[in-house]
Amino acid sequence: MATHPAPPLARLLERTADAVAAVRAGRSLTAALDSGPAELRPGALALASDVMRQLGTAQALREALAPRAPPAPVDALLLSALALMVPRDDGSLPYGDHTLVDQAVQAARQLAPASTGFINAVLRRFVRERAALLEAVRHQGVAAFNHPLWWIERVRQDWPAQWRELLAANNAAPPMVLRANARRTTAAAYVKQLEANGRTAQVVGPHAVWLHAPCPVTQLPGFAEGEVSVQDLSAQRAAPLLLGAGVRSGARVLDACAAPGGKTAHLLELADLDVTALDVDAGRLQRVQQGLQRLHLRAQLHCADARLTASWWDGRAFDAVLLDAPCSASGIVRRHPDVRWLRRADDLAALARTQAELLDALWPTLVHGGVLLYVTCSIFRVEGQQQIDAFLQRHGAQGAQLDAAAPGHLLPLPDNDPDRFATTPVVGDGFFYALIRKP
């Protein structure tokens, strides 16, 4: 196989600056990088993710060094370079100062030639005054915690004992966790298969395998044949929770917000179910189809807004409903470090409204005696416990009952595993799970 030399840092910085500018304008990092040259994508994604984790500090530093913001592309390059010159917790730096300043100036030559002198001067001053500048911004909330102020405040209100830890955890590297396909293998057998391929891994849950050194999925043995999928440990709780709640072989199950299909596939790997998988996004629904094909599984897929039941439901009640609702994604910031900068404070009210509408619309589609599993990958209470408390207030009189089997909020912190689902210290993503019975 031909090996390609790594792209020069200046080109990666140029691409990173484009992506940072896109995020600041409201686009996701993935969308921004997907539209650029493929050979720069992995390197630029790694750099841009690193920049997202230090963006609050970099912004405060830039304001101290250059109070008048330069044009957006120049600002994005400057912020990227500054973010990469902030020492990590252990004091290390990803690049030497000289290399980074030199490469940032080269990137500026391509992006905005008139700005090279400015970039050079600001970065050199930063190198000279780094300790004093860092000390000056250390106590500013956004710079100190690298999250927007409203987010910091929300986490502090929701989790007064853990808020600092939770904010810090968002900047950790996410573990790569796999789900062994129970129709073809077991977690223990797959670990052996990985070891035979020179990779170290361990079993961390009923079907979960923690791969110690992340790698592209194409390098996983048996991936193309459907032996394994990538799925976080906390996300792997959905299917066992539903099946543990008494959903039997042959049951009609609705997966109302299914794409990209991780939980749909897990359900079908564990039981012979008649699954209807809905998603409002046609492009994302295609990914469900591709995933099921790779895993040799089948479901009925429909592109529809789950709230508009008249448009997709034939009136036959489901034995179980899985509602993995759209949310802020505040529980998976490790994996999507741009999320914190993309969300706005008032998004939360809009998301909570959509979640309540989905719950209310889907409740009548559930058979008496059935269960609804409500899931979000959020740590915000308004999308979790408060949402379910309000639902029970609206529907409790008609019999809706909370089942204690679901864990509620799962925080992405060590030792936060109330029902000992995981068998090792791998930290799962932040999730909320509530199981509601309809007598």
Ligand X SMILES: C[S@@+](CC[C@H](N)C(=O)[O-])C[C@H]1O[C@@H](n2cnc3c(N)ncnc32)[C@H](O)[C@@H]1O
Are 239 and 262 a contacting pair, CB within 8 Å? no
Smallest separation (angstroms) from ligand X to the CB of 50: 25
* C-alpha–C-alpha distance, residues 368 and 245, integer Å: 14
* C-alpha–C-alpha distance, residues 209 and 404, integer Å: 27
Smallest separation (angstroms) from ligand X to the CB of 326: 4
Residue 262 contacts ligand X per CB under 6 A: yes
List 153, 165, 305, 403, residue binding ligand X (CB under 6 A):
305
Window of 14-22, 259-267, 362-370, 395-403 that interacts with ligand X by CB under 6 A: 259-267
- Find, among 216, 224, 175, 162, the residue nearest to 41 by Cα: 216
Residue type, position 141, single letter? G
Window of 121-129, 301-309, 364-372, 392-400 that interacts with ligand X by CB under 6 A: 301-309
Smallest separation (angstroms) from ligand X to the CB of 350: 12
CB neighbour list of residue 371: distance below 8 Å, 6 or more residues apart:
242, 245, 246, 247, 320, 321, 403, 435, 436, 437, 438
Total length of the chain? 439
Residue 307 contacts ligand X per CB under 6 A: yes
Smallest separation (angstroms) from ligand X to the CB of 401: 24
- Find, among 11, 53, 55, the residue nearest to 36 by Cα: 11
Residue 324 contacts ligand X per CB under 6 A: yes
Residue 326 contacts ligand X per CB under 6 A: yes
* C-alpha–C-alpha distance, residues 82 and 13, integer Å: 11
Residue 261 contacts ligand X per CB under 6 A: yes
Residue 279 contacts ligand X per CB under 6 A: yes
The 3-state DSSP class for residue 81 equals helix
Residue 259 contacts ligand X per CB under 6 A: yes
Q: Which residue is nearest to ligand X (CB)?
A: 257
Smallest separation (angstroms) from ligand X to the CB of 267: 10
- Find, among 377, 435, 382, the residue nearest to 406 by Cα: 435
> Omega into 260 within 30° of 0, i.e. cis?
yes
Window of 137-145, 255-263, 268-276, 413-421 that interacts with ligand X by CB under 6 A: 255-263
Residue 292 contacts ligand X per CB under 6 A: no
The string of DSSP letters for 94-134 reads: SS-HHHHHHHHHHHHHHH-GGGHHHHHHHHHHHHHHHHHHH
Nearer to ligand X, 99 or 311 (CB): 311
Nearer to ligand X, 259 or 436 (CB): 259
Helix (H) or strand (E) holding 432: strand 431-438
Nearer to ligand X, 9 or 258 (CB): 258
Reported as half-sphere exposure (CB side, CA atoms, 13 A), residue 423 has a value of 11
Smallest separation (angstroms) from ligand X to the CB of 93: 36
Nearer to ligand X, 154 or 263 (CB): 263
In 27-184, at which residue ranges do the beta strands (DSSP E only) sit? 176-180
Window of 72-80, 200-208, 253-261, 332-340 that interacts with ligand X by CB under 6 A: 253-261
Round the CA-based radius of gyration of the chain to a whole number and report it: 23
Q: Measured in whole angstroms, how far is the alpha carbon of residue 309 from the centre of its chain?
A: 28
Window of 99-107, 154-162, 302-310, 386-394 that interacts with ligand X by CB under 6 A: 302-310
Size of the site for ligand X (CB under 6 A): 18
The reply to whether 377 belongs to the active site is yes
Window of 42-50, 174-182, 184-192, 300-308 that interacts with ligand X by CB under 6 A: 300-308
List 253, 306, 379, 388, residue binding ligand X (CB under 6 A):
306
- Find, among 271, 201, 93, 183, the residue nearest to 424 by Cα: 201
Residue 280 contacts ligand X per CB under 6 A: yes
Smallest separation (angstroms) from ligand X to the CB of 168: 24
Residues 61-120 that bind ligand X (CB under 6 A): none
* C-alpha–C-alpha distance, residues 110 and 80, integer Å: 15
Residue of 257, 303, 327, 377 marked catalytic: 377
Smallest separation (angstroms) from ligand X to the CB of 291: 8
List 179, 207, 263, 437, residue binding ligand X (CB under 6 A):
263
How many Cβ atoms sit within 10 Å of the Cβ of residue 4? 6
Q: Which stretches of the chain bind ligand X, using CB under 6 A? A: 235, 257-263, 278-281, 284, 305-307, 324, 326
Would you please indicate which residues are annotated as catalytic (active-site) residues? 377
